[in-house]
Amino acid sequence: MNTTFDYRDTPLPISYFETKYRLSRVTIWRYRRAGLPAIGVGAKTFIRESDFVAFLERMNGQTVNATPLKHLTKEAA
């Protein structure tokens, strides 16, 4: 079985989206109330970037750039 890895399917902490998309926690909370899927692990909340991008596209009706931040990838280390 040979499947390709898509980094956008990895659950990421809310702080990632605050940094990359320059959003506040309140905005992300509002998005979650509006239907953005999230994964709760204990007191932490994670969101898949693929879910986030799909949510924004549904809300705005346009394509959103979903490239990873350089300082959060292995290549920048």
Residue pLDDT, tens place only, 28-46:
998 899 889 999 999 999 9
Tokens describing residue 27: 């905005």
Q: Check the CA dihedral 29-32-38-41 and report its sign.
A: positive
The label of the residue with tokens 């309140």 reads 26
Fill in the amino acid letter for 53: V
Assess whether pLDDT exceeds 70 at residue 61: yes
CA distance 7 to 26: 25
pTM for the whole thing?
Answer: 0.69
